[in-house]
Structure 1
Amino acid sequence: MPIARAAKRRAVNLGAVVLAGALLAACGGSSDSSDSADGKVTITVDLFGSFGYKEAGLYEEYEKLNPGVTIKQTDTEDEADYWKSLQTRLAGGGGLADVQGIEVGRIASVTQQQADKFEDLKKYGAEELKNEFADAKWSAATGKNGEVLGLGTDVGPEAMCYRTDLFKKAGLPTDREELAQKWSTWDGYVELGKQYLKKAPKKSAWIDSVGSLYSIMIGQEKERYYNASGDLIWETNPALKTAWDTSVEAAESGLSAKLDQWSPQWNQAFAAGSFATIPCPAWMLGYIKGQAGDAGKGTWDIAKLPGGAGNWGGSYLAVPKAAKNKEAAYKLIKWLTAPEQQAKLFEKQGNFPSATGAIDKVAGAKDPYFNDAPIGQIFGDAAKAAPVQVLGIHDQNVAQQITNALSEVERKGTDPDKAWSNAKKGVENTIG
């Protein structure tokens, strides 16, 4: 187990944040005992998107602390593609990495349908870590028989990122506290967007896509697609209908830049000023920096989210039963998800911790890239207030069909009732 020591407070580069308090950094310990007879082991890690471990230097640090260990990571940008491939490999029992990432929207599928495919981490002592994580994060990865099937990485507390330079050109206020009051509700946010369009710079919309608006709104709800009994309720859930209606209004009012998230065009839009606001979970801060680059420093800021707190995203690290190096894999994910490493990851990449000790460490964090926004406070308050969400086995599938339907309204002008009907058919075809 890593031993903590105080790290000196220091200036950070463009991609980092400033912590008001001292961070704890991991010290060395005994060498990692490997699953290999000669003491050397290569741990394979297969992820989606950007978990930030390589970029933050955590793999390199772990290898130095544990001579003989080599970490090799593969990743898939699109989570849907990753999940489909993972299902194929789980069914066949081959081609699996020692460590597999699991998105929060898929964790219920693992605990309810695939517990026999993953190691119960209690076998390696994971039960002793329970008090280090938020209850909701820990319980979501717990199987029906009490198995611990993954260790939590980040969570996705939400805020609103916005371009102060574009707001000024449109005659809107730029102070984060004033904006938080003006868009305390989603209706207020949409109305401010309509004001923005009246004087907005050419080729600049209010938001990147109505899909991101929908995702952030539904992330504020305890029940979204399933109820606590495991029943599908998305068609009759009033909160989901409100998120749909608001997203439709935004589309029909021309507030959207009509961009697919993660597409090359979307990536370029951060620097081009194609949209003035974007709902941003904590993990998106690093992405914005990477896409907007040095020129974006000081043009972005962060305010509280309309409509209260919510969560969008977060993941787990799991060890498949077919993994070659199970014990070594567990030791790695235990270290990566420890409070010290989660705090470092937030400092360098913006991924907000799920470990309670790490949340306390980053409470005073500010980000110079975003006009010294108090991100530790903004995202910390959001994390504390976010509801404990009911997770279902097909959350991601239902969400994808709804955002596909909203895209039809946004780009093709499809009648909202017709698009809703298409979403229903899509869900039926996907999950039966």
Structure 2
Amino acid sequence: MRKTRTTRRAVAVMAAAAIGAGLLAGCASDEDSGSKAGGTDSEGKTVITVGLFGTFGFKEAGLYEEYEKLNPKVKIEQTVVERNENYYPQLLTRLASNSGLADIQGIEVANIAEVVQTQADKFVDLSKAGGVSKDDYFDWKWNQATTADGKTIGLGTDIGPMAICYRKDHFEAAGLPTERDAVGKLWEGDWQKYLDTGKKFMGDAPKGVKWVDSASGLYNAAISSSATRYYDEQGEVVYKTNPDVKEAWDVAAEAASEDMTDKHELFTDSWNKAMNNGTFATLSCPAWMLGYIQDKGGEKAKGKWDVAPAPKAGNWGGSFLGVPESSKNKEEAIKLAAWLTAPTQQAKLFAERGSFPSAPKSYETPEVAEATHEYFSDAPIGEIFSKAAEGIPTQVIGPKDQVIQENITRSGLLQMERSGLSSGKAWEEATKAVDNALDE
């Protein structure tokens, strides 16, 4: 079996949170994301500028270097803003002024609906680009970046198919199965079964260990497996009346009220320390989360973690590459964006960085199909996440999904965990915060 060097945006993490909590952090330094370069350099090479957030991994995986060797008259210059919460407002400002933009710009999945609806005229239609085939991507991923009249403004880089990461040592101590297939069957097809398994765990849990890291993470995972979320197909906000939102809320709120959560806010120091200290037994795991756990868990947790299928297939995270109409090297930028997101390169990126491909054709490659992860007890992550990816539902994503989800989790579930609010009162607080944010 092939070992992937899956280290992913160790903190690309907040990405997930994007449509799962919303901010994408990376390992890069906080730089100016819009290069002022353009045209050619002193050697006569065409300079293609790439503006990103977090750590997409293209440079780290050697893809830029490979492309430059294949195209010796091209030079690639990348600039990065560490957090999407800083990057995205800057991108909108530059789109509005039509200046300061890179030849290629990254777009986070939590922002793609707003960009498609309000900024599509500022981007090239990549559906007509040479070397780009809609058939290479999942339909739902392609459609996320496509306008109602068929203009595709971004090519998918990665996705976040869901699994559950679990501590084998804690499961064994609590008398639960530890083998991944048996573990997956405990909650197959139903998030409530996952919660019921947690109740059994808590009856014999090791001292100081909770079932799950947080109500917020559980909610993010549960809602990611639903086709409907916060908007309907007509673009109306429906989160208050959507039964899928209520179901995800109820599961997360029950975990909080039953004291089954470790009460952490995602992507904070306390969460990181808890991961290192092993104070929770399970964690909702999109593919990119593996690198984060490995980084924060350290050597002392190696081999104690494993990966099992999630109760339902869902998607948490993912990004796109778009080419602004103002690009100084538009044709070359289109070629590079198409090459970086082609199945072959997506497979290489997964093997080197752990970013799970949005191009299903890459799942047939050895880099993906045979991938295992040594840190997670040699779990066959290529097989697990490929299967999960194929079951991801087509989701309606609205322009303010990120805002709605952040307020549900932070103003509702986190406060329920920390302040002892009832589920009803916490939902009241969450909806009040959402409505205030949407009115701003």
Name the TM tier (shorter chain). 0.7 to 0.9
Quick one: distance in 2 between partners of 1:281 and 1:12?
A: 16
**2:424 counterpart residue number:** 417
Q: 1:56 to 1:397 in 2, by over 3 A?
A: same
**2:163 counterpart residue number:** 159
Q: 1:36 to 1:77 in 2, by over 3 A?
A: closer
The structural deviation recorded for 1:179 is 1.3
SS at match of 1:261: coil
Q: TM-score, normalised by structure 1?
A: 0.86
1:309 and 2:316 matched: no
SS at match of 1:321: coil
SS at match of 1:114: helix
SS at match of 1:61: helix
Aligned residue among 352, 357, 363 for 1:353? 357
The structural deviation recorded for 1:239 is 0.9
Q: 1:269 to 1:143 in 2, by over 3 A?
A: same
CA contact 2:307–2:376 (8 Å) conserved in 1: yes
**2:265 counterpart residue number:** 260
Aligned residue among 205, 220, 241 for 2:225? 220
Quick one: distance in 2 between partners of 1:286 and 1:119?
A: 33
SS at match of 2:225: coil
Task: Report how many aligned residue pairs link the two structures.
Answer: 405
**1:392 counterpart residue number:** 398
Q: 1:203 to 1:49 in 2, by over 3 A?
A: farther
1:187 and 2:192 matched: yes
Q: 1:11 to 1:181 in 2, by over 3 A?
A: closer
Q: Deviations over 1:371-390 (max 9, x none)?
A: 22222221111111111111
Q: Deviations over 1:278-299 (max 9, x none)?
A: 1111122222222223443311
Structure 1 counterpart of 2:290, which letter? L
The structural deviation recorded for 1:355 is 1.2
**2:380 counterpart residue number:** 374
Q: 1:368 to 1:119 in 2, by over 3 A?
A: same
CA contact 2:262–2:280 (8 Å) conserved in 1: yes
**1:50 counterpart residue number:** 55
Report percent identity of matched pairs. 50
User: What is the RMSD computed on CA atoms of the aligned residues?
Assistant: 2.4
Q: Deviations over 1:48-70 (max 9, x none)?
A: 33322233222333333333544
**1:431 counterpart residue number:** 438
Quick one: distance in 2 between partners of 1:407 and 1:35?
A: 49
Deviates more, 1:201-210 or 1:378-387: 201-210
The structural deviation recorded for 1:302 is 0.6
Q: 1:90 to 1:364 in 2, by over 3 A?
A: same
Q: 1:344 to 1:296 in 2, by over 3 A?
A: farther
SS at match of 1:107: helix
Aligned residue among 72, 78, 85 for 1:80? 85
Q: 1:69 to 1:256 in 2, by over 3 A?
A: farther
**Where do residues 42-121 of structure 1 align in structure 2 (5 Å cutoff)?**
42-121=47-126
CA contact 2:201–2:211 (8 Å) conserved in 1: yes
Q: Deviations over 1:117-158 (max 9, x none)?
A: 2222246436x4222222222122112332220111111111
**Where do residues 172-211 of structure 1 align in structure 2 (5 Å cutoff)?**
172-184=176-188, 185-211=190-216
Structure 2 counterpart of 1:398, which letter? I
Q: TM-score, normalised by structure 2?
A: 0.85
Quick one: distance in 1 between partners of 2:245 and 2:281?
A: 25
**Where do residues 130-145 of structure 1 align in structure 2 (5 Å cutoff)?**
130-145=134-149
Quick one: distance in 1 between partners of 2:356 and 2:348?
A: 10
SS at match of 2:321: strand
Structure 2 counterpart of 1:196, which letter? F
CA contact 2:3–2:372 (8 Å) conserved in 1: no
CA contact 1:111–1:144 (8 Å) conserved in 2: no
Q: 1:203 to 1:68 in 2, by over 3 A?
A: farther
Q: Deviations over 1:314-351 (max 9, x none)?
A: 11111223334333322222111111111112222222
1:271 and 2:292 matched: no
Q: 1:213 to 1:292 in 2, by over 3 A?
A: same
CA contact 1:364–1:374 (8 Å) conserved in 2: yes
Quick one: distance in 2 between partners of 1:424 and 1:81?
A: 25
**2:389 counterpart residue number:** 383
Structure 1 counterpart of 2:397, which letter? L
The structural deviation recorded for 1:426 is 2.2
Quick one: distance in 1 between partners of 2:53 and 2:280?
A: 26
Structure 2 counterpart of 1:224, which letter? R
